[in-house]
Structures are given as C-alpha cells and as structure tokens.
C-alpha cells in the first residue's frame, strides 16, 4: 500500500459564474477507464492499457493494486474496461482474444484481501473480430439483472443482426444466465441475451432515478453522438441511420436519415460529435441545482457538462468546465454528492469536484 499526504486544489469558474473547487489527488493513473464504489470512501479504478485494477481510499489517500487473473487482451480501443460492484461481488468488461480475433467479455469475481478470486467468464460477445475498434463497454445493475453495452466493432450493419451481440445492449442475470423475459428468448436464431440492438459504440450507462430506466451514451460517426433509453426489444438503427451524422469521409450513412419509422429515437443528439464518454445522473446534495440531471463527459472537447431535467426529459446542455483535466472518461458520485472524475490520458490522476 502507498500513502500520500498532499493534494492540490485548483479553482475553476463554471459557465454559471459559480466558483467550483477541483481537487487533484496525488495518484498516478495511466488511461483509467472505469470506476465503482466498494464502500462510501473507496473506489476501484480500472486502467485500460495496463490491465491494472487500483483500490483507492479517497479519505486517507491510500491506494493498493488489486491482483487478478482476468485474461485481458487489448488492441487499439480494447483492454480492461468497465467495473461495477455489489458488496464483494465484482463484474468487469474487457476485451479478450481467441485465435486472431477479439471481443468484449464480461467476468464476475469476488474481492477478498485485495485480490479478485473465483473469476469466471459469464458472457462473451460472438463473433470474435480481428480489428481493435468499438468494444463499448459499460455495465449497469438493475434489480437482479446486469446490462452490458457492446460496440459494433466497426462492422456497421452487423448491429442490425439480432443473431449476435455485436452492436447491442445485452441483459443477463448476475450469474450470466438469461432472464426469462428477455425480448428475443423465444425467437428462433435470435440471441437470447439481446435486449436492444442497433448501437454503434456505447461507452456510458446509468440508471435514471426519475424514470427507473437505463440510459446509454453512444458514439455516432462524424456527428450523431446521443443519449438514449434502453428499452426492451427496440432498435436504434445503426447502420441504417446515423442520428444526424455522416461517415468520416463525408458521405451519408444509409439514406442519410437521422431516424426512420420503427426505430427508437434518442433523447438528445450532438451534431457535431462531442466524443461522448461516461454519463452519471446526479443524485447528491452538494449541488442541489443538479438534482436528477445528467452529467456528461466529453472526450473530444474535454469538458464536463450537464443536461438539466425537464419533466422526464432534458433541457439545453450547460458546460461546467472545459480543458481542465483532459478527455473525460468516467464519472462517479459519493454519498456526499461530490463528483469524481477520471480522464482518458496516459499521465493523469483522480479528480474531485465540489462546490
């Protein structure tokens, strides 16, 4: 274990002309990707490229490297990705390799004495694909079920094929078995784990405290990043539509439509793209004006923003700060309502935002 006695304080000004305090912890992180609380003070943090899991005590500034034997094999955008916990049960998404292909996988393990034990592969997205693009992936628990976002691996229309998990939101039980009420469980040749199809590269996911629905953030191509609901048996349309975006070459996707009849509509779309990262509904008390609104991390423009609530929908986006910590990858909130942030950078740290 290593302990640090100093933190650095940076003052920033939000777009609402309110002074905010950004605390920079003295811990070195290398491309951190996901975070989860294991109690009110301690965070587990994943590092995408080093495959390391770090346990960080936010009160005592102590960190410990967690031993694990999860067989992560990364390429390009792959590696050790999201992490979520419930008691000492831990679930992780990562890229793994078989022969010459890679895919997004889900492992379940138990945390004991700073080590992950009894690690078990509970889901792998078939088929394995040789490139290293668009793995997703985020996790969210709702009741007895685990939701997992799977990227379409740069293969476009494969996301319209319900016989596989590529470009889908899957729903499994916490042990990896399939819920009896999944929408495609009784359809011949359809993948029983699929809950929603037609996504491109969903890298954010959280449970809405108002509607009790799960929302995702999804990367469009050149334009078309969006926030949207995970609804049973629905289709977001990739690569028939691009939600207002275009191919990187500038050509249109499909017929060039942002939406077509029969497809679910996103709740909020960005054109041009912001390179959307993690998302988190705000449920704390430190920022009462943000209650139930959605915090957004931008990778491309390196900002933290908020989508305020209008009934069960969202209002106009408000930038909180920009160009302070780099490409914002993930967001967590503690019991006090303080906001914790990590950035997708090679030499970075953990940050805390407070009033």
3-state secondary structure of 37: strand
Burial label for 99, CB within 10 Å (0-12, 13-18, 19+), is exposed
- Looking at the 3D structure of the chain, how many domains does it have? 1
145 and 174 Cβ atoms separated by less than 8 Å:
yes
Q: Which is nearest to 103 in space by CA: 167, 26, 183?
A: 167
CATH number for position 243: 2.120.10.30
Instruction: Please give the residue range of the domain that contains residue 32.
Output: 2-354
Burial label for 283, CB within 10 Å (0-12, 13-18, 19+), is middle
Q: Print the SS3 string covering 259-312.
A: CCCCCCCCCEEECCCCCEEEEEECCCCCCHHHCCCEEEEECCCCEEEEECEECC
155 and 168 Cβ atoms separated by less than 8 Å:
no
pLDDT tens-digit profile, the chain (355 residues): 555 445 666 656 555 546 899 999 989 999 999 999 999 999 999 999 999 999 999 999 999 999 999 999 998 999 999 999 999 999 999 999 999 999 999 999 999 999 999 999 999 999 999 999 999 999 999 999 999 999 999 999 999 999 999 999 999 999 999 999 999 998 888 999 999 999 999 999 999 999 999 999 999 999 999 999 999 999 999 999 999 999 999 999 999 999 999 999 999 999 999 999 999 999 999 999 999 999 999 999 999 999 999 999 999 999 999 999 999 999 999 999 999 999 999 999 999 999 9
Q: Residue 26: its pLDDT value, please? A: 87
3-state secondary structure of 158: helix
Tokens encoding 169: 């939101």
User: What count of other Cβ atoms lies within 10 Å of the Cβ of residue 28?
Assistant: 11
3-state secondary structure of 185: coil
Q: Residue 11: its pLDDT value, please? A: 57
Pairing mode of beta strands 202-207, 214-218: antiparallel
276 and 299 Cβ atoms separated by less than 8 Å:
yes
Q: Residue 15: its pLDDT value, please? A: 52
Q: Which residues contact 317 (CB under 8 A, 6 or more apart)?
A: 268, 296, 305, 306, 307
Q: Residue 5: its pLDDT value, please? A: 44
Q: Residue 154: its pLDDT value, please? A: 97
Q: Residue 97: its pLDDT value, please? A: 98
Q: Which is nearest to 161 in space by CA: 215, 238, 103?
A: 238
Q: Residue 19: its pLDDT value, please? A: 83
């Amino acid at each position: 274990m290593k302990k640090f006695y100093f933190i650095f304080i940076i003052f920033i000004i939000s777009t609402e002309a309110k002074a905010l305090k950004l605390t920079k912890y003295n811990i070195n992180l290398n491309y951190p990707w996901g975070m989860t609380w294991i109690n009110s003070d301690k965070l587990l943090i994943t590092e995408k490229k080093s495959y390391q899991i770090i346990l960080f005590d936010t009160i005592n500034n102590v960190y410990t490297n967690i031993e694990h034997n999860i067989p992560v094999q990364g390429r390009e955008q792959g590696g050790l990705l999201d992490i979520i916990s419930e008691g000492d049960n831990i679930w992780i998404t990562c890229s793994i390799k078989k022969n010459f292909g890679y895919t997004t996988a889900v492992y379940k393990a138990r945390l004991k004495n700073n080590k992950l034990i009894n690690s078990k592969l509970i889901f792998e997205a078939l088929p394995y694909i040789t490139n290293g693009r668009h793995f997703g992936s985020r996790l969210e628990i709702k009741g007895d079920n685990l939701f997992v976002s799977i990227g379409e691996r740069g293969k476009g229309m494969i996301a319209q094929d319900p016989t596989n998990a590529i470009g889908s939101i899957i729903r499994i039980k916490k042990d990896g078995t399939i819920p009896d009420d999944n929408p495609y469980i009784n359809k011949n040749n359809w993948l029983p784990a699929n809950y929603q199809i037609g996504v491109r590269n969903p890298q954010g996911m959280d449970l809405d405290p108002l509607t009790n629905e799960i929302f995702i953030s999804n990367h469009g191509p050149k334009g078309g990043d969006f926030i949207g609901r995970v609804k049973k048996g629905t289709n977001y349309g990739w690569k028939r539509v691009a939600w207002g975006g275009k191919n990187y070459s500038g050509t249109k996707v499909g017929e060039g439509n942002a939406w077509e009849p029969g497809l679910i509509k996103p709740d909020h779309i960005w054109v041009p793209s912001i390179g959307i990262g993690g998302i988190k509904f705000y449920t704390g008390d430190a920022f009462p004006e943000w209650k139930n609104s959605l915090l957004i991390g931008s990778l491309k423009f390196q900002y933290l923003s908020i989508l305020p609530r209008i009934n069960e929908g969202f209002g106009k986006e408000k930038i909180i700060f920009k160009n302070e910590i780099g490409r914002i990858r993930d967001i967590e909130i503690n019991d006090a309502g303080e906001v914790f942030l990590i950035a997708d950078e090679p030499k970075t740290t953990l940050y805390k935002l407070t009033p």
